[in-house]
Amino acid sequence: MKWNTRILLVLASATVAVSPASVQAQVNYIYTTNNGALTIVSASGGGWGAGMLNIPGTNNGLPVVAMAPSVFTGNRWFTGIIITNGLTTIGDWNFVDFPVLTNVVLGSSVTNIGFYVFGRCPQLAQITVDPANPAFSSTGSVLFDQNQTTLIRLGLAAAGANGIT
C-alpha cells in the first residue's frame, strides 16, 4: 500500500511541474464529413504536460461543427481548453476526468453541450463564454444557459466541492 501511495505522490508532483498553461497541446483529429461540415470523431495526443487544447473551428477550409461523444475522455493532461468559433455541438462525455484542467473558453457558436461534459475535473476554476454566445453564459466557474436560469456545469475548484459532480 505504501508503494502505491508514493507513486501517486510522484505523479501528482510531476503533473504540476510539466503542465504550463502556455504550452499548446499537439493533438491529431479524425473527422467525418457531412454536407461539407466536419465532426471530430476521434483524437490522439495530449499526454503528460499537454498544456492548452485548442479545438479548431476549421480544417482544410471546411467548418468543424461538432464533436462526437467521448472524443476526449479519461485522464487527459490539458490545463486549459479553447473551443473556437465554428463548433456548435459538444457531444456527451467529452472532457471528463481531466485532473489538471483549470479553465475553459467557449466560443460564440457553441449552442449544444451534451451530458456530463467537463465532469470530474477537480481543478476547473474558470469557465468563460463569449458574450455573443446565444445559448450559454458563465460566472466564474459556473456555466449557465443564456438566461442564467439553468445550471449546466459547476467548476469544482472554485466551488470548493469535494470531487462529486
| Domains in the chain, CATH or no CATH each | 29-159 (3.80.10.10)
Measured CA to CA, the distance from residue 90 to residue 60 in angstroms comes to 21
Model pTM? 0.79
- Helix segments in the chain, DSSP class H: 2-17, 156-159
Residue 143 near residue 136, CB atoms below 8 Å:
yes
What pLDDT is stored for residue 22 in this prediction? 53
pLDDT of residue 16: 28
pLDDT tens digits, residue range 63-99? 999 999 999 988 788 899 999 899 999 999 999 998 8
Amino acid at 67: M
Helix (H) or strand (E) holding 54: strand 51-55
Q: Cell numbers for 4, please give them.
A: 502505491
